Amino acid sequence: MRGLMMDDPLLVSDLIEHAALNHGFQEIVSRTVEGPIHRYTYADALKRIKKLANALNRLGVQQGDRLATFAWNGYRHFELYYAISGSGAVCHTINPRLFADQIVFIVNHAKDRFIFLDVTFVPLLEPLADQLPHVEGYILLADKDHMPETSLPNVMCYEDLVEPESDEFDWPRFDENTASSMCYTSGTTGNPKGVLYSHRSTVLHTFFQCNGEGFAMNSKAVVLPAVPMFHANAWGLPYAVCMVGAKVVFPGAAYDGASIWEMLDTEKVTFAAGVPTIWMMLLEYVRREGKRFDHLTQTGIGGSAVPLAMVEAFEDEYEVEVFHAWGMTETSPVGTTGAFNCKVAEMPLERRRTYQIKQGRSIFGVRMKIVDDQGNSLARDGETFGQLAVKGPWIVGAYHDNDEANATQFTEDGWFLTGDIATLDDYGYMTIVDRAKDVIKSGGEWISSIDLENAAVGHPGVAEAAVIGIAHPKWDERPLLVVVRSEGAEVSGADVLSFLDGKIAKWWMPDAVEFVEELPHTATGKIAKLKLREQFAGYELPGVGSG
């Protein structure tokens, strides 16, 4: 017997309609790439989004067409999110920090018909344009006065395109499983893989994100996504702010400490989300300049593991609560959140912090298990390591047009294999031990590079740390710790190792410490371990002579 409730599809266009109707006064504030701050409301935004939807129609965009964006976090990118998906096309956000050949691969693989780009990305795309045969035109996110000279073919001006259109548009209603947006993973090996989100997965992910066990969002929040809209939908925040009617502040292209702090302060931001690298720059700035956070009450941190020292800095020095989350492009992207359960909330501070630096716990909608190489489920005892497998309505079911990855990254019974090595405990808290390819295999046991890195950055003389495995004749691999010193610090390798003593298992102690000016990062702000391994290829650990 079927239920008799309405079969009303979950559609992305309903999020912005809801925000404009019920929170029409609420502001969307953007730092523009042109410079000035732009400010308008959800009601204003909806009108422009409808104009844009009409413009897309005029360009001949059909349902299912892929339209790419190369854009910073700002109001025009927000308009594209809603107009493209709302009209039934696919909003394909592309990470401009990827290598040129990856960008060419992605645009061609997705068969993007048009590219919308901030003017800052014109020099990036000009030399690639003749390798992008499917692209029919380039729309620059600017008004007439800010249009640069360019060799890009078939260039249009966004404001000229949008302005003449009507602000009336009836959103089409269609199957909620229709693709709404698309994002390629920036894997360090092989070609990027395409993840196609649906309207249904996006709206369900947004419900999850806003709920009390998720990010607990509401209309009184002022939200600053310091996570780019070109990477995993800025953690879904552009959708979540519409669902709850929160004010949103877009930082544009300026992610340095001073610019982010200024936006946090002047716009009275209460919740900001970012990766540890961004927060490290912000903390350095506020310390150096003696600033405070008068409005910020909570920061969401994810994308890489949050070090304990960062939790302590935010909470103990600045009274800003830290909220750790884990996710992937393939999980829309939020998979777990660090909201305390009632047992953890009651624990003394030190013990609570041990939970806070875990990657978060199971929230309804995402099922998790850890498995061994044969796919057997392992114990949820907080100690046993295995590959994390996940399942749920906003988890990737298959990659776009990629038989190879589809054959290897999914189990026969439909679980997605994340490539993360993790533990699970009986409260459902998950701890990432490492990426499967980064874990250091020493004497048949595993050493977590992440744990070592987090312990090392606890030393005040260490700004950033990375650990890689170096081949060892006896142990297979041993850890090498690579450190960037904090500004002005004169810390030595011996200082760092004696600092680690007692904080990690004795046999995890790095065999050597090397200092570098900076560490290589991937396009998404993570430490580029593959590059670092190349940099230290042939490195000889002390005591392991070639003869």
> Which residues participate in catalysis according to the annotation?
185, 330, 441, 446
| Count of residues touching ligand AMP (by CB under 6 A) | 19
Q: According to CB under 6 A, which residues from 523 to 542 bind ligand AMP? A: 524
Report the distance separating Cα 168 and Cα 187, nearest Å.
Answer: 41
Q: Which stretch binds ligand AMP (CB under 6 A): 50-58, 253-261, 302-310, 460-468?
A: 302-310
Please state, as a whole number, how many other Cβ atoms lie within 10 Å of the Cβ of residue 334. Answer: 30
Q: 3-state DSSP helix/strand/coil percent for the chain, to nearest 5?
A: 35, 25, 40
Q: According to CB under 6 A, which residues from 44 to 103 bind ligand AMP? A: none
Report the distance separating Cα 26 and Cα 32, nearest Å.
Answer: 19
Comparison of 324 and 361: residue with beta carbon closer to ligand AMP: 324
Report the distance separating Cα 140 and Cα 296, nearest Å.
Answer: 34
Comparison of 181 and 418: residue with beta carbon closer to ligand AMP: 418
Q: Euclidean distance between the first and final Cα of the chain, in Å? A: 77
What torsion do the CA atoms of 70, 81, 91, 114 make, to the nearest 10 degrees?
-60
- Residue pair 176/204 in contact by the 8 Å Cβ criterion: no
Which member of 11, 68, 221, 432 binds ligand AMP (CB under 6 A)?
A: 432
- Nearest approach in angstroms of CB 88 to ligand AMP is 26
Q: Which stretch binds ligand AMP (CB under 6 A): 50-58, 297-305, 476-484, 535-543?
A: 297-305
Comparison of 79 and 420: residue with beta carbon closer to ligand AMP: 420
Question: What is the three-class DSSP state of 92?
Answer: strand
Site string for ligand AMP, 253-272 (x = CB under 6 A): --------------------
Interaction between residue 418 and ligand AMP (CB under 6 A): yes
Report the distance separating Cα 513 and Cα 483, nearest Å.
Answer: 7
Q: According to CB under 6 A, which residues from 174 to 213 bind ligand AMP? A: 185-186
Interaction between residue 337 and ligand AMP (CB under 6 A): no
Which member of 18, 97, 353, 435 binds ligand AMP (CB under 6 A)?
A: 435
Question: What is the three-class DSSP state of 315?
Answer: helix
- Nearest approach in angstroms of CB 432 to ligand AMP is 4
| Residues listed for the chain | 547
Report the distance separating Cα 158 and Cα 140, nearest Å.
Answer: 6
Which member of 333, 386, 479, 510 binds ligand AMP (CB under 6 A)?
A: 333
Q: According to CB under 6 A, which residues from 210 to 249 bind ligand AMP? A: 232
Q: Which residue is nearest to ligand AMP (CB)?
A: 329
- Nearest approach in angstroms of CB 208 to ligand AMP is 16
The token pair that represents 400 in the structure block? 């776009």
- Nearest approach in angstroms of CB 330 to ligand AMP is 6
Comparison of 71 and 328: residue with beta carbon closer to ligand AMP: 328
The token pair that represents 29 in the structure block? 């504030």
The token pair that represents 379 in the structure block? 């114990």
Comparison of 225 and 333: residue with beta carbon closer to ligand AMP: 333
- Nearest approach in angstroms of CB 232 to ligand AMP is 5
Listed in sequence order, the DSSP H helices in 59-142 are: 75-86, 100-110, 122-125
Report the distance separating Cα 281 and Cα 46, nearest Å.
Answer: 34
Comparison of 137 and 187: residue with beta carbon closer to ligand AMP: 187
Interaction between residue 305 and ligand AMP (CB under 6 A): yes
Measure Cα distances from 370 to 365, 383, 431 in Å. 17, 11, 11
Amino acid letter for position 415: W
The secondary structure of residue 415, as a DSSP letter, is P
Q: According to CB under 6 A, which residues from 465 to 494 bind ligand AMP? A: none
- Nearest approach in angstroms of CB 192 to ligand AMP is 10
Which member of 102, 304, 362, 442 binds ligand AMP (CB under 6 A)?
A: 304
H or E stretch including 454?
Answer: helix 449-456
The secondary structure of residue 453, as a DSSP letter, is H
Site string for ligand AMP, 385-404 (x = CB under 6 A): --------------------
Q: Which residues bind ligand AMP (CB under 6 A)?
A: 185-186, 232, 302-305, 324, 326-329, 333, 359, 418, 420, 432, 435, 524
